[in-house]
């Protein structure tokens, strides 16, 4: 068994979808899902930055 299989943080890469067969409605829905995922990632970054700032402030004192 590969050790990468045990790492819960190891993301499964998402291959770009072929866009030609999708309708305008499907493309719009696809964009909405991608934007929602981008927002989720940005929120995770903001939360981690807040934790890091708190830790840095604690250790500077």
pLDDT digits (tens, 9 = 90+) for 2-61: 666 666 676 666 788 999 999 999 999 999 999 999 999 999 999 999 999 999 998 886
pLDDT at 60: 84
Please check whether residue 41 lies inside any domain of the structure: yes
Please check whether residue 35 lies inside any domain of the structure: yes
pLDDT at 12: 63
Please check whether residue 42 lies inside any domain of the structure: yes
Would you say the pTM of this structure is higher than 0.85? no
Distance separating alpha carbons of residues 8 and 54, to the nearest angstrom: 26
Neighbours of 22 (CB within 10 A): 13
19 in Cβ contact with 27 (< 8 Å): yes
Please check whether residue 56 lies inside any domain of the structure: yes
Please check whether residue 53 lies inside any domain of the structure: yes
In which domain, by residue range, is 33 found?
21-61
22 in Cβ contact with 30 (< 8 Å): yes
pLDDT at 32: 98
């Amino acid at each position: 068994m590969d050790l990468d299989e045990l790492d819960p943080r190891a993301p499964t890469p998402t291959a770009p979808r072929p866009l030609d067969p999708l309708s305008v409605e499907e493309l719009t829905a696809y964009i909405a899902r991608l934007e929602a995922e981008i927002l989720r990632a940005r929120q995770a970054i903001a939360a981690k930055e807040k934790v890091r700032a708190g830790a840095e402030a604690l250790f500077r004192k």
